[in-house]
Structure 1
Amino acid sequence: MQTEPKQARELVLGLITEITRDVDTRPVTWDRRLGDLGLESISLVYLIAELQQQLSLGDRLVRELRIRSRVELPMITVGELADLAASLSQPTKARS
């Protein structure tokens, strides 16, 4: 299933907002780091798993995050995660 980048970004924002609802009352914005959202590790794992499932990414998102492991997951912004998920949800030849 192909997902438009805008839909993928909205999904990321929606999932993070849902997950952080009881943890952090501040609005989730594109420039907030995942580590600043007050999430436990298990919530981050859930977030990545849910994105992979809903965007039909298989394990591509977790593999890409491992490749970028120079930057720890908590340091990634909501916008960076959304852009990565959106790019991975596109057909292979559309990605660079």
Structure 2
Amino acid sequence: MLVSHSELRKLFCSADAVCFDVDGTVIREEGIDELARFCGGEDAVSEMIWRAVGGAVPFKADLTERLALVQPSREQVQRLMVEHPPHLTPGIKELVSHPQE
């Protein structure tokens, strides 16, 4: 069912709560990919992603496996955030701060 832009806007503005997928939606980056690139293991993580996208592995199990492969320390995660901060998707700030009509 296609919804018009005005219907979608009205629905969004009248909602009590809205949930967003952060990776690739609110921010442009995919967090696990960035972490794997930063910590090593990018190729193995990329291969695992295609299994999850195909539905062969449940998301939670896939994420657990990818994090186990990368094994990031708290310091590495903090350093990644400082050295390569995420970038908001264009228009997301305006979308979430839009006053209700």
Q: Is the shorter-chain TM-score for this pair beyond 0.5, marking a shared fold?
A: no
The normalised TM-score by structure 1 is: 0.35
The normalised TM-score by structure 2 is: 0.33
